[in-house]
Amino acid sequence: MERLPQHKPLWEIHIIKYPTTNAAGTVIFKLHQALGDGFSLMVALLTCLQRADNPSLPLTFPSRRRSQPWKSENFVTKVFSSVFNTISDFLNGNLEEDDQTPIRSGNDGIEFKPIAVSTMTISLDRIKLIKSRLGVVRSSCQLRTYIFLRSLLYIKSTWNELMLTINDVLTAMIFLGTRLYIQETNKSLSKARGTAIVLLNTKMMGNYTSVQEMIKLNSKLPWGNHLSLLHVPIPKLLTNSEEQFSDNALDFVWKTQKIIRSKRHSLGIHLTAGFLEILNKFGGHEAAARYIRNTLKKSSMIISNMIGSVEQMSLANHPVKGLYFLVFGSPEGLDVTIVSYMGKVRIAFKMEKGLIDPPKFKSCMEKSFEMILEASEKTAVQKN
């Protein structure tokens, strides 16, 4: 990927009139991170798009429900959990470096080397099916524990808070697929340390708004870069036996959900965001950029996701069949980006060329999803 010329605007639009099996042509928006974060850039992109069925109607997006993980915990539990997770997140993310594995070379200058790209598409209905199957089973089990231990003042989360989310399922699939790939490539590294950096927008509090609204003074969703980094350790496989992988798929889901839920008790996201603002204010943009780069370089992958519209969109009266986005110029060897659109989830993998085998990696991801889907079906049958 060539750098944008410094004497020209920080964006380019490429129109490729070459038909493929999926579309009649391709449009590539190449946008510099200095323009804004992913949320800001997505808002700008959406201003160029309309509903394909009726341009006079606005685009609609899946509703987002924020969990309230502290609702039913006592005060002491909340405080200690928050302090412990905050310190752990901040220190581990800034001091420790991941091991070299089949997905992480640790080499310098990865951002300037060739890459390989692969994508996969999953029906949103299939993900929701896993969510509904596993959420109820897990909740009913945990709720019984909650009732039994309540007299001991150890209060578990309530029914709704124990329900799996779509992000839980997707993250578990990505982590399990990554571990399967490492296992199949080099079994001796199956227990190696691995961390995913989740890119978050600290200002994304609601659905998309207009560019005009974002550039207003004191806007609740202001334009610009409002980023933070969430460090999520990649769980390890419970066994090296391929015959037992399917049996442990659900354990992997629960472990992933537990890790993510613990991050919600941490103020590490806001601490990192505040630290970046201080660096930016007193050390300049370069100091903040160096901190982000060093953090990403120590990790094994980054994960970023965006929400797309429910209806089909069109660009200049040309229907948009599908879309995905990629992050370039970062020093880690594996990026995973997720976007929902028209009832489907498109997952893109940007990989260090020569290190990761794209077909094999994609196959491990597909295997991971099918393992979780099959295990959820068995669980649902046993429950009934």
pLDDT (average), residues 263-271: 70
Domains of the chain: 73-124+163-311+323-383 (3.30.559)
pLDDT at 304: 93
**Residue 207 to residues 19, 191, 226, 306, 309: CA-CA distances in angstroms?**
34, 39, 16, 11, 11
The answer, yes or no, to whether residue 139 has pLDDT greater than 50, is no
Decide if 61 contacts 309 (C-beta within 8 A): yes
The answer, yes or no, to whether residue 206 has pLDDT greater than 60, is no
The helix-helix angle for 268-278 and 285-298 (nearest 10°) equals: 140
pLDDT at 241: 59
pLDDT at 171: 94
Q: Which residues in 209-245 are b (16+ Cβ under 10 Å) and which e?
A: eeeeebeeeeeebebebbbbbbbbbbbbbeeeeeeeb
pLDDT at 371: 93
Residue 9: count of CB within 10 angstroms of its CB: 9
DSSP 8-state secondary structure symbol assigned to residue 5: P
Burial class (CB in 10 A: 0-12, 13-18, 19+), 333: buried
DSSP three-state, residue 118: strand
Per-residue tokens: 215: 């550039």
- pLDDT for 90-124, tens place per residue? 555 556 899 999 999 999 999 889 999 999 999 99
Specify the pTM. 0.84
Decide if 102 contacts 185 (C-beta within 8 A): yes
More reliable by pLDDT, 329 or 271:
329
Region of poorest pLDDT, from 217-226, 280-289, 343-352: 217-226
pLDDT at 224: 79
Residue type, 169: V
- Average pLDDT, whole number, for the chain? 81
pLDDT at 149: 35
